[in-house]
């Protein structure tokens, strides 16, 4: 049997200039910029511009970029009608997957391969898809998605709650979008690059990436983390519950990481914001105490650290975002990384086609059907 890496772990599958994961050298860089510096000194809008254009914008460029996105938040009537037909019980990730596919039919990528235009259109209108569906299926409201707040975080919270968002909530959500924007050759990004390598269109690559991100071992972990935290009313309950889960060898979502071995540097940033938001209410403080006890037990018993998804769950919950919308928020952010990788794959393309090792039956003859 030949040597191979299960799950392609440790295999270098290509080159990229989009991001670098280097745990010993500070964790994660977007196009050369340290992520912790970006969260402190740049907005998600600036980071999105960086992902799509390869450099940070100046103020004039940022203003123009925000204006462009505000002008692209509208939904075509046929897309709105499709969204209205989707069941209330649909998972929001399925809604987004369907919405992107429909938009690809209505506004197909032309022969000029106007990929940057499509990337901006999707970045602008994907939150509109989700919130339009949510408002219609829960309240039969056909909300207006055009225009709105200058930032993605502000516009999303405004559409969701129908009021000007709390500045602290908006800032926390903005930081989380920056933290989720890009992460090298993760499963959804590699899916997008694989689809792109066949010379398929931009929408198909994004649709496939959404499908990959939907899984609980990838994007869905933040939803599972929230469900875990909400199981327990006190830190003591949490300790007992987690110990029981570990004894049963249950998987505890929101801990450990395929790439990071000692800590997820993004988790340290989002935990600070989770704490700030939690301070505002007794329920928030209770949830934070439970989460910190779960973290302590996992470190003590399994030597595992929280990843970005764990404390992001508290941030989103404190912003009043329904749990099933947590992974779609990941999509709105990671779309910028996907787009950067799609464009990079196209710039120097070769179809991605790995080999496999056969482990099936040895050669055998086909017995005539009358003799079987």
pLDDT digits (tens, 9 = 90+) for 266-290: 999 999 999 999 998 999 999 999 9
Residue 237 shares a structural domain with residue 114: no
Question: Which of 183, 218, 264, 341 is the catalytic position?
Answer: 218
Cα radius of gyration (the chain): 22
- 233 is a domain residue: yes
What burial letters (b/e) apply to 102-138, b meaning 16+ CB within 10 Å? bbbeebebeeeeebebbbbbbbbbbbbbbbbbbbbbe
Q: What is the pTM of this model?
A: 0.93
* Closest C-alpha to 304, from 242, 271, 274, 261: 261
- Tokens found for residue 184: 């090298």
Residue 210's domain spans which residues?
32-217+333-347
Looking at the structure, tell me whether residues 150 and 48 fall in a common domain.
yes
In a domain, 271, yes or no: yes
Residue range 120-144, pLDDT digits in tens: 999 999 999 999 999 999 999 999 9
Report pLDDT for 3: 64
Residue 193's pLDDT is 97
309 classed as catalytic: yes
Q: Give the span between the Cα atoms of 194 and 196, in whole angstroms.
A: 5
Lowest-confidence pick of 21-30, 116-125, 232-241: 21-30
**What's the total number of domains in the chain?**
2
Average pLDDT value over all residues in the chain: 93
- Which CATH number covers residue 140? 1.10.580.10
Instruction: Spot the catalytic one: 134, 155, 169, 257.
Output: 257
> From CA 123, how far away is CA 179, in angstroms rounded?
16
* Cβ neighbours for 336, distance < 8 A, ≥ 6 positions apart: 47, 48, 51, 52, 119, 123, 181, 182
**Percent of the chain whose predicted confidence (pLDDT) is above 90:** 83
Angle formed by the axes of helices 167-180 and 326-347, nearest 10° = 40
Residue 7 is classified by DSSP as G
Inter-axis angle of helices 282-302 and 308-318, nearest 10: 170
362 is a domain residue: no
Active site residue 161: no
- The single residue of 174, 201, 264, 309 carrying the catalytic annotation is 309
257 a catalytic residue: yes
- pLDDT tens, 24-35? 666 799 999 999
């Amino acid at each position: 049997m030949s040597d191979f890496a299960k799950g392609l772990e440790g295999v270098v599958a290509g080159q990229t200039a989009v991001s670098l994961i280097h745990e010993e050298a500070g964790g994660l860089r977007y196009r050369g910029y340290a992520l912790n510096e970006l969260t402190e000194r740049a907005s998600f809008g600036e980071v999105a511009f960086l992902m799509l254009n390869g450099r940070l914008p100046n103020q004039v460029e940022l203003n123009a970029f925000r204006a462009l996105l505000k002008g692209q938040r509208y939904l075509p009537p046929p897309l709105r009608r499709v969204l209205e037909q989707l069941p209330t019980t649909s998972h929001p990730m399925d809604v987004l997957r369907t919405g992107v596919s429909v938009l690809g039919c209505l506004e197909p990528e032309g022969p000029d391969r106007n990929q940057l235009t499509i990337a901006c259109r999707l970045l602008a209108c994907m939150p509109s898809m989700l919130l339009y569906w949510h408002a219609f299926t829960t309240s039969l409201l056909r909300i207006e998605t055009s225009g709105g707040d200058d930032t993605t975080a502000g516009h999303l919270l405004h559409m969701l709650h129908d009021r000007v968002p709390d500045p602290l909530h908006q800032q926390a959500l903005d930081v989380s979008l920056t933290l989720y924007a890009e992460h090298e050759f993760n499963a959804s990004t590699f899916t997008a690059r694989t689809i792109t390598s066949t010379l398929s269109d931009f929408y198909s690559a994004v649709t496939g990436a959404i499908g990959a991100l939907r899984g609980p071992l990838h994007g869905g972990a933040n939803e599972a983390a929230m469900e875990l935290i909400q199981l327990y009313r006190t830190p003591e309950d949490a300790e007992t519950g987690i110990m029981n889960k570990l004894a049963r060898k249950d998987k505890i979502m929101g801990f450990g990481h395929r790439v990071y071995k000692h800590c997820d540097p993004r988790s340290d940033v989002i935990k600070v914001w989770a704490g700030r938001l939690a301070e505002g209410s007794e329920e928030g403080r209770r949830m934070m105490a439970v989460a910190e006890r779960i973290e302590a037990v996992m470190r003590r018993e399994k030597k595992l650290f929280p990843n970005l998804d764990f404390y992001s769950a508290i941030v989103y919950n404190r912003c009043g975002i329904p749990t099933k919308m947590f992974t779609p928020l990941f999509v709105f952010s990671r779309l910028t990384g996907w787009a950067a990788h799609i464009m990079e794959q196209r710039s120097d393309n070769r179809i991605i086609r790995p080999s496999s090792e056969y482990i099936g039956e040895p050669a055998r003859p086909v017995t005539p059907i009358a003799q079987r």
